[in-house]
Amino acid sequence: GESVGLHLPTLSVQEGDNSIINCAYSNSASDYFIWYKQESGKGPQFIIDIRSNMDKRQGQRVTVLLNKTVKHLSLQIAATQPGDSAVYFCAEGRDKIIFGKGTRLHILP
Partner 1 sequence: EPEVTQTPSHQVTQMGQEVILRCVPISNHLYFYWYRQILGQKVEFLVSFYNNEISEKSEIFDDQFSVERPDGSNFTLKIRSTKLEDSAMYFCASSVGGSYNEQFFGPGTRLTVL
H or E element in which residue 19 lies:
strand 19-25
CB 103 within 8 A of CB 45: no
Q: Which of 10, 16, 18, 46 binds partner 1 (CB under 8 A)?
A: 46
Distance CA 89, CA 18 (A): 17
Q: Which of 22, 49, 62, 72 binds partner 1 (CB under 8 A)?
A: 49
Task: Say whether residue 11 binds partner 1 (CB under 8 A).
Answer: no
Task: Say whether residue 74 binds partner 1 (CB under 8 A).
Answer: no
Distance CA 77, CA 52 (A): 21
CB-wise, 63 or 93, nearer to partner 1? 93
| Interacting span for partner 1 (CB under 8 A) from 10-18, 39-47, 57-65, 66-74 | 39-47
CB-wise, 25 or 89, nearer to partner 1? 89
Distance CA 33, CA 64 (A): 9
H helix and E strand count, the chain: 0, 11
CB-wise, 38 or 85, nearer to partner 1? 38
Query: Footprint of partner 1 on this chain (CB under 8 A)?
Result: 32, 41-46, 49, 51, 89, 91, 93-102
